[in-house]
Amino acid sequence: MILAFDTSDRRVCMALLKRGTVTTHVEDMARGQAEALLPMIEELLHRSGATWPEIKAIAVGVGPGNFTGIRISVSAARGMALGLGIPAIGISAFDMVRHLAPMAQGVTVPGPRDQVYLSLTPSAAPYMTPADQCGDATSIEAFAPDDLILAAAKVGQERLSANNLTPAKPLYIKPADAAPARDLPPTIIDS
């Protein structure tokens, strides 16, 4: 049984592959993903008639996408994997699209400020580029979230079978948009 989940965009997506059956759940959620993720997984397991010990691996979306969202899903997957003694397998958004469109001539994921993250081949490092300079690349937006998270679960299952356990670590293509505070820290007065 493979559990897959992803919080790298404005939704929580999850899928459970259990003996040939598939259960998915997708919920739009711009905020509160960290608080909602584990209860949603519990509900997914309950609906599927599954238990935590049955899970053999976790396939987790590693991005690219929302910096905080990626960290939520990756840290949750690593913690669950450690507690259950199972692998957490990192699945990029590019991997999901390539599973659904194996003949794609490049894959794009929306980025900030009219740019996209572009992956030309599975072995080449992805990079940011203006959205109008991607040629015939296939956009992740061409696929439904349910199909993408199911693809993540299937890629995770393939990698588990092949013992190709890609690490569950965030795929950062650009640095975070956060900047250090501009205000000076307060002066501490010893009395």
Mean pLDDT of 161-170: 94
The answer, yes or no, to whether residue 179 has pLDDT greater than 70, is no
Is 2-102+143-161 CATH 3.40.50.1220? Answer: no
Please give the backbone phi and psi of residue 93, each rounded to the nearest 5 degrees, phi first: -60, -35
At 176, the pLDDT band (50, 70, 90 cuts) reads: low
User: 22 near 4, Cβ under 8 Å?
Assistant: no
Mean pLDDT of 133-138: 92
| Pairing verdict, β 107-110 and 88-91 | unpaired
11-112-120 Cα angle (round to 5): 90
- Model pLDDT, residue 191: 65
* Percent of the chain's residues with pLDDT above 70: 96
Residues facing 176 on adjacent strands:
none
- Model pLDDT, residue 127: 94
- Model pLDDT, residue 19: 86
The mean of the pLDDT values for the chain is: 93
Higher-confidence residue of 113 and 62: namely 62
The answer, yes or no, to whether residue 177 has pLDDT greater than 80, is no
Whole-structure pTM value: 0.89
Q: How far is residue 25's CA from residue 113's CA, in Å, rounded to a whole number?
A: 29
- Model pLDDT, residue 57: 98
Helix (H) or strand (E) holding 165: none
Of the given ranges (51-55, 155-159, 187-191), which has the lowest mean pLDDT?
Answer: 187-191
- Residue 128 tokens read as 């940011």
Q: How far is residue 90's CA from residue 167's CA, in Å, rounded to a whole number?
A: 5
* Percent of the chain's residues with pLDDT above 90: 81
Tens digits of per-residue pLDDT, 73-89?
Answer: 999 999 999 999 999 99
